[in-house]
Chains A and B, each alone.
Chain A
């Protein structure tokens, strides 16, 4: 690390608050020939008030606000993730002591984001690997971070950068708050998104892996495993149905009892509270914790710009040091990068491919246009000829049948090509409506003040049924194709009859 040189200002100041002698005091510039001054545009160095024990010295206006911002940020972190302002300060100066704390912090936060179970027991190495791959997944590709050692000895400033990047890029705090909301209602997940699975799986199925004789797996074993999976799914389905039945009973029997007129009935949590009132203490604790976090978050939002200004100073530091330390980085081999990077082609080849793709698409579109006009004219002739034939037969009936079939196909096609409207996705609270069918009130992610939109269960069911019908049609079509392929293959073989299921 480059030696930190710091200067004192020359103008008379009130005595500074005592601070940690082991660390250089506060946010002062380091490196090279830039000492002795504040940044050009900001001018004066503003001192911290005497009351602060943290020893922050702001290098820019609003310096008094910085500890407030940092404090709010730390308080807004969800409980398993611990962050203290000291860690941030140390990280700016790239102190090794802060590295471990930062790895743990990022681990806890990213685990929550990815919905996984946060376990203290994970070894540091595993934690570090997880953080690196999760950051890569989110799109953070800075090689310096991925080259950090797996023993957590250095790199706290890199981690600070990554942390701030996460804060901004994926709205870390908002996401965490949404995830950790205390839920008193009965929730169910609704997903009406279009399934993109079919398209994305295509690539993998085409490339059949080459299996040697040792790797051969008996197909009956695979059928066995598939059958087990099916049975487990059916058991799950039955359990889910039971849960729905019991929820229905609770909702029905407690209608009219809720304070909130719109909801009208109790949820399971509320029922439980009635039966065992002592549990309210726990609930109140959770709510208080959440309130504290929300208040901290609001504070943070107001003071956020200060934090970003401070981060810019960190970036500047890094840039300077980077200039000096470049020759050392040069001979760190590519092989130390995580394996994952080799799967993602880097920027240049990517843009080249995108250009090629767009050219191909244009060419295809022109070809398609040509084909369509050609086909249309040929079709017109065919239709004329066929219409004459059909005059004798029951023309209107066949025409109707054909029309229906075509409409069905078009419906599928248009569904596929339709622009993706924002479908309902996420958790919804279940609310029972007796006159009309049960409806759901969506409390997904926004913090908006207007009443959240309600989605009725019948609507969702109807949409899902339509989707199911179209998927069934697709399945039938695929089965027919497979059947034809099998028949073709069977014809080629002697003495083999293919009996399709």
Chain B
């Protein structure tokens, strides 16, 4: 099952490149810590998923690069080719001469329709090269102009052209104190449009990753490249091949489908958060040892307490005891601290995964009342270690992780909208106040659904 990656805008293209880099270096690394046969099937599964064999022997990434400016794309193409391990297809990109000026409406109503045919042609070509199309993985930022507006439009086109394929949008949540004034408008519009066409939204918050770089990786000067590399590592830990069944004999050939089925079957709940432990600078890896019980305990507490990384977890937060509170009440404990989940997926990679005990994740009090842990919790495993981490665990969670950030963004956007600030920039290109109101309504609905879990 092959995934076609659509990299949108500057952010999307840079992250996309790092993702392919991370995947490739993981596959070629010698730290698999498993048998040769296992390594080979891992290698094959990964290759089928992300790359095509070219005549030159260098695998070609299954990706379409889209940006309004040529600079980032050419950079991306050349850096990729320089690595020697992989490259992009030379024809699989689309760019124009000028950017969108951070204007969502420009991207959505002007650039989108104008270039729809060219972009969809590229996508169609990539899709046809796949023996089995496993779905689309789009990478974009929510706040900018190209990625967000054009990205929302392209996602819609993907849905129209491939009605039964899986579409996963990877969305970068901007810094809270971001430089773009209208980023909240862009975010609101993007999210509400994506919610309609996409199957799931996997979110990475810039603030969070920045903190990880600072505190866990001990970086002094944090550049976008560092942030992107952390994001790429986390994405790789989710999308590299795994066994999805307990007694699986083959690596799963349907990563997106399996993910969607376990996490986002309900149409109102599509926001996914991602946590990955352990996370540390590469040179410390050799000196650290990990134990599964420790990792799992930390991961579980990160989930419950809505912690973003394995340091500074609030260990006081505990799930409500059964019978002590009425399920549908708005008890303060629930609202303020405890993170109720709808569904969780834990992915374990490395040594001794077969002996891990994930019973603590199957505690019914972690989950919302209308779903039992058998339906809500899944675990994927592989004995093959990822990216030099002897043991690593990831958590993809459909829970209230993003409730607060979403609430904040909608509130700020609404405050700006109430005074009609900057709205003319959007109405200039055809996004009317009606459209804004529709977006607000849609997101309020999402917020309300997540709050009343």
Which B residues, 352 to 399, have Cβ-Cβ distances below 8 Å to chain A?
Answer: 369-371, 375
Interface size of B in residues (CB-CB distance below 8 Å): 22
Indicate if the CB atoms of B261 and A221 lie closer than 8 Å. no
Contact with A along B403-435 (1 / 0, CB 8 A): 000000000000000000000000000000000
Residues of B within 8 A of A218 (CB): 369-370
In the bound complex, CA of A227 to CA of B266 (Å): 6
Indicate if the CB atoms of B131 and A246 lie closer than 8 Å. yes
Report the stretch among A77-85, A158-166, A228-236, A256-264 that lies at the interface: A228-236
Indicate if the CB atoms of A242 and B370 lie closer than 8 Å. no
Indicate if the CB atoms of B133 and A221 lie closer than 8 Å. no
Interface size of A in residues (CB-CB distance below 8 Å): 22
Point out the residue from B164, B268, B375 that lies within 8 Å of A237, measured CB to CB: B164
Residues of B within 8 A of A242 (CB): 131-132
Q: Considering the complex, give the chain A residue whose CB is closest to the CB of B441.
A: A499
In the bound complex, CA of A242 to CA of B253 (Å): 12
Point out the residue from B254, B268, B370 that lies within 8 Å of A221, measured CB to CB: B370
Q: Considering the complex, give the chain B residue whose CB is closest to the CB of A226.
A: B265
Among A226, A235, A245, residue most surrounded by chain B Cβ atoms (within 10 Å)? A235
In the bound complex, CA of A227 to CA of B398 (Å): 15
Decide if A200 is an interface residue (CB 8 Å cutoff): no
Indicate if the CB atoms of A228 and B261 lie closer than 8 Å. yes
In the bound complex, CA of A438 to CA of B371 (Å): 47
In the bound complex, CA of A242 to CA of B135 (Å): 13
Chain B min CB distance to A227 (Å): 3
Decide if A415 is an interface residue (CB 8 Å cutoff): no
Decide if A225 is an interface residue (CB 8 Å cutoff): yes
Decide if A239 is an interface residue (CB 8 Å cutoff): yes
In the bound complex, CA of A234 to CA of B266 (Å): 15
In the bound complex, CA of A94 to CA of B92 (Å): 78
Q: Considering the complex, give the chain A residue whose CB is closest to the CB of B453.
A: A220
Decide if B294 is an interface residue (CB 8 Å cutoff): no
Among A218, A220, A228, A241, residue most surrounded by chain B Cβ atoms (within 10 Å)? A220
Q: A223-B267, A227-B264, A499-B441 are in contact. Are A238 and B131 (CB under 8 A)?
A: no
Q: A220-B266, A223-B267, A241-B133 are in contact. Are A231 and B261 (CB under 8 A)?
A: yes
Residues of B within 8 A of A226 (CB): 265
Q: Considering the complex, give the chain A residue whose CB is closest to the CB of B372.
A: A221
Residues of B within 8 A of A232 (CB): 257, 261
Indicate if the CB atoms of A234 and B264 lie closer than 8 Å. no
Interface secondary structure of B, over-half rule: loop
Residues of B within 8 A of A224 (CB): 265-266, 370-371, 375
Chain B min CB distance to A382 (Å): 38
Residues of B within 8 A of A246 (CB): 131
Residues of A within 8 A of B166 (CB): 231, 234
Residues of A within 8 A of B302 (CB): none
Residues of A within 8 A of B375 (CB): 224
Which A residues, 66 to 123, have Cβ-Cβ distances below 8 Å to chain B?
Answer: none
Chain B min CB distance to A223 (Å): 5
Residues of A within 8 A of B133 (CB): 238, 241
Q: Considering the complex, give the chain B residue whose CB is closest to the CB of A218.
A: B370
In the bound complex, CA of A499 to CA of B369 (Å): 26
Decide if B203 is an interface residue (CB 8 Å cutoff): no
Which B residues, 260 to 315, have Cβ-Cβ distances below 8 Å to chain A?
Answer: 260-261, 264-268
Indicate if the CB atoms of A238 and B266 lie closer than 8 Å. no
Residues of B within 8 A of A241 (CB): 132-133
Residues of A within 8 A of B371 (CB): 220-221, 224
Residues of B within 8 A of A230 (CB): 265
Point out the residue from A220, A223, A225, A231 that lies within 8 Å of B257, measured CB to CB: A231
Point out the residue from B134, B268, B370, B441 that lies within 8 Å of A238, measured CB to CB: B134
Which B residues, 158 to 198, have Cβ-Cβ distances below 8 Å to chain A?
Answer: 164-166
In the bound complex, CA of A242 to CA of B131 (Å): 6
Indicate if the CB atoms of A239 and B265 lie closer than 8 Å. no
Indicate if the CB atoms of A228 and B265 lie closer than 8 Å. yes
In the bound complex, CA of A220 to CA of B375 (Å): 13
Chain A min CB distance to B300 (Å): 23
Residues of B within 8 A of A231 (CB): 166, 257, 260-261, 265
Decide if B1 is an interface residue (CB 8 Å cutoff): yes
Indicate if the CB atoms of B370 and A227 lie closer than 8 Å. no
Q: Considering the complex, give the chain B residue whose CB is closest to the CB of A227.
A: B265
In the bound complex, CA of A184 to CA of B265 (Å): 40
Chain B min CB distance to A248 (Å): 11
Chain A min CB distance to B375 (Å): 7
In the bound complex, CA of A225 to CA of B133 (Å): 24
Residues of A within 8 A of B257 (CB): 231-232, 234-235, 238
Residues of B within 8 A of A245 (CB): 131-132
Which A residues, 231 to 278, have Cβ-Cβ distances below 8 Å to chain B?
Answer: 231-232, 234-235, 237-239, 241-242, 245-246
Point out the residue from B165, B369, B370 that lies within 8 Å of A234, measured CB to CB: B165
Q: Considering the complex, give the chain B residue whose CB is closest to the CB of A230.
A: B265
Residues of A within 8 A of B264 (CB): 227
Among A220, A238, A242, residue most surrounded by chain B Cβ atoms (within 10 Å)? A238
Residues of A within 8 A of B370 (CB): 218, 220-221, 224
In the bound complex, CA of A220 to CA of B266 (Å): 7
Q: Considering the complex, give the chain A residue whose CB is closest to the CB of B343.
A: A224
Contact with B along A202-231 (1 / 0, CB 8 A): 000000000000000010110111111011
In the bound complex, CA of A223 to CA of B371 (Å): 11
Q: Which residues of A contact B (CB under 8 A)?
A: 218, 220-221, 223-228, 230-232, 234-235, 237-239, 241-242, 245-246, 499
Q: Give me 14 other A-B pairs in contact (C-beta within 8 A), A227-B264, A235-B261, A245-B132 excluded.
A: A220-B266, A221-B370, A221-B371, A223-B268, A226-B265, A234-B165, A235-B254, A237-B164, A238-B1, A238-B164, A238-B254, A238-B257, A239-B132, A242-B132
- What are 7 pairs between A and B in contact, CB < 8 Å? A220-B371, A224-B370, A228-B265, A231-B261, A234-B164, A234-B166, A235-B261
